[in-house]
Structure 1
Amino acid sequence: MTIVQISTGPGAGATPPAGDVVPCCPPLAQRPLEAEEAERAAAMFKALGDPVRLRLFSAVASHPGGEVCVCDISDVGVSQPTVSHHLKKLREAGLLTSERRGTWVYYRVTPSVLAAMGTLFDPAPAP
Structure 2
Amino acid sequence: MGDPLSKVFAALADPTRRDLVARLTEGDATVGQLAAPYRVSVQAISKHLKVLEKAGLVSRSAEGHRSPVHLEAEVFDLMTKWIERYRQRAEARYRRLDAVLAEMDDDEEAGHRPAGEEMA
Q: TM-score of the superposition, structure 2-length normalised?
A: 0.60
The 5-angstrom pairing of residues 4-15 of structure 1 reads none
Report the counterpart of residue 4 of structure 2 in structure 1: 40
The 5-angstrom pairing of residues 7-86 of structure 1 reads 39-60=3-24, 62-63=25-26, 66-74=27-35, 75-86=37-48
Shift of the alpha carbon at 1:111?
A: 4.5
Compare CA radii of gyration and give the structure with the larger one. 2
Asked if 2 retains the 8 angstrom alpha-carbon contact of 1:52 and 1:76, the reply is no
Percentage identity across aligned positions?
25
Provide the alpha-carbon RMSD of the alignment: 2.5
1:97 alignment partner, one of 55, 59, 81: 59
SS in 2 for 1:105: coil
Shift of the alpha carbon at 1:118?
A: 1.9
CA, structure 1 residues 113+103, in 2 after alignment: closer, same or farther (shift >3 Å)?
closer
Work out which structure has the larger RCO, using CA pairs closer than 8 Å and 6 or more positions apart in sequence.
Answer: 1
1:119 alignment partner, one of 81, 102, 113: 81
Matched residue pairs, number?
88
The structure carrying a bigger helix percent of its residues is 2
CA, structure 1 residues 78+46, in 2 after alignment: closer, same or farther (shift >3 Å)?
same
Q: Which runs of 5+ in 1 are unaligned?
A: 4-38
